Structure formats: C-alpha cells, structure tokens
Amino acid sequence: EVIRKRLLIDGDGAGDDRRINLLVKSFIKWCNSGSQEEGYSQYQRMLSTLSQCEFSMGKTLLVYDMNLREMENYEKIYKEIECSIAGAHEKIAECKKQILQAKRIRKNRQEYDALAKVIQHHPDRHETLKELEALGKELEHLSHIKESVEDKLELRRKQFHVLLSTIHELQQTLENDEKLSEVEEAQEASMETDPKP
C-alpha cells in the first residue's frame, strides 16, 4: 500500500517530488540553523539534493530527446511500412495481371492442343492436294465417258429413228403393193368374167 501511494504521488517513480520536498525542508532547516556546522551540513545536503535534481532533470531531458528521436524513427518506419504496403499492393495487382495473362495463355494453349489433335486426324495439305488432283482427273475421265456415252446414245437414237422411218416406209410400200395386187387381181377377175366380143 505504501509503495502504491508513493508511486501514485511520485508520478513515474523518479522521486522528483520527494527530492523537492527534501530540498524545501533542507532550505528551511538551513535558514533556521543555529550553528555554522549545522548550516554547512544543511548547505551540503541542499547541494547534493540540487545535484540529484539536476541529474534527474538531465536524465529526463535525455529520455525526452530519446522519445522524440524514437517518435521520428517510428514515423519514418511507419512511412516506410506504408510505402512497402503500397508497393505490395502494386505487386499484387501486377501479379493478378500476370495470373490472368497466364490463365489466358493456358486456355489458348489448350485450345491450340485441341485444334492440333483435330488437325492430326485429317490428312495434310500435300496429300489433300494429291487426292483433289486425282479426283479431278477421275472427274474429267468420267466427263469424257459421259460425253462418249451421250454421243453413242444420240447416234443410236438417230439410227433408231432412221430404222423406224425405214420400217414405216416399208410398211407403206407393202400396203401399196398389197393394194396394187388386189386391184390387179380384181381387174383380172373382172376381165375373166366379161364375155369376149
């Protein structure tokens, strides 16, 4: 309890209030001292207390300066940390862009691989051109065959038409011959039936 009270009265525990109280008491005793020896001892005590107070004040000033330097150092560290955080954010943004680009490249590569697999199932251009050339030659050959067959068919059609015309003429000729023979037979028959003069 006594220590707690002293700490509460003493502030940060440097004993300044107690030293000032002792200095005041020593000053009062020195003023009220009767003999020279007692005054001299009180004077020495006051000097000792003053030196302690000056030492304490110097130490406090040093601590204050140190605290100021520490605060400046902390401000500097804080700014460096802020700069580092800003740099880290920029790096993260750049890394995100690189990740997106890497994903895009990977997707493109997968698509290229799929297209390459599809292309590998088909013949190459040289073979395709050879096949097209062969098919062109075969088509040309078939066109010639078609033309030849059409020419033969047209010839057969003409020959068949000539044949039909010839058959028709032959039928007309036969019919005419039959009619003529019938007329001749009728004339002969009528001549036979008519009396001679």
Cβ atoms of residues 22 and 46 within 8 Å: no
6 found inside a domain: yes
Q: What are phi and psi of 14, to 5 degrees?
A: -85, -10
129 found inside a domain: no
Cβ atoms of residues 144 and 150 within 8 Å: no
183 found inside a domain: no
100 found inside a domain: yes
Distance (Å, whole) CA 38 – CA 9: 30
Entry pTM: 0.39
79 found inside a domain: yes
| pLDDT number for residue 54 | 82
User: Cα angle at 106 between 103 and 109, to 5 degrees?
Assistant: 150
Distance (Å, whole) CA 26 – CA 20: 10
List, run by run, the mean pLDDT of 10-residue segments along the chain (197 residues): 61 60 77 75 80 82 92 94 94 95 94 88 81 92 93 92 93 89 81 62
Distance (Å, whole) CA 174 – CA 180: 10
| pLDDT number for residue 12 | 52
Residue 58 one-letter amino acid:
G
149 found inside a domain: no
Phi-psi region of 87 (alpha: psi -120 to 50; beta: other; left: phi over 0): alpha
Domain total in the chain: 1
Residue 120 one-letter amino acid:
Q
137 found inside a domain: no
Query: Cβ contacts of residue 27 below 8 Å, gap of 6+?
Result: 46
What is the span of the domain harbouring residue 72? Answer: 1-121
| pLDDT number for residue 4 | 64
16 found inside a domain: yes
Distance (Å, whole) CA 23 – CA 42: 10
| pLDDT number for residue 16 | 61
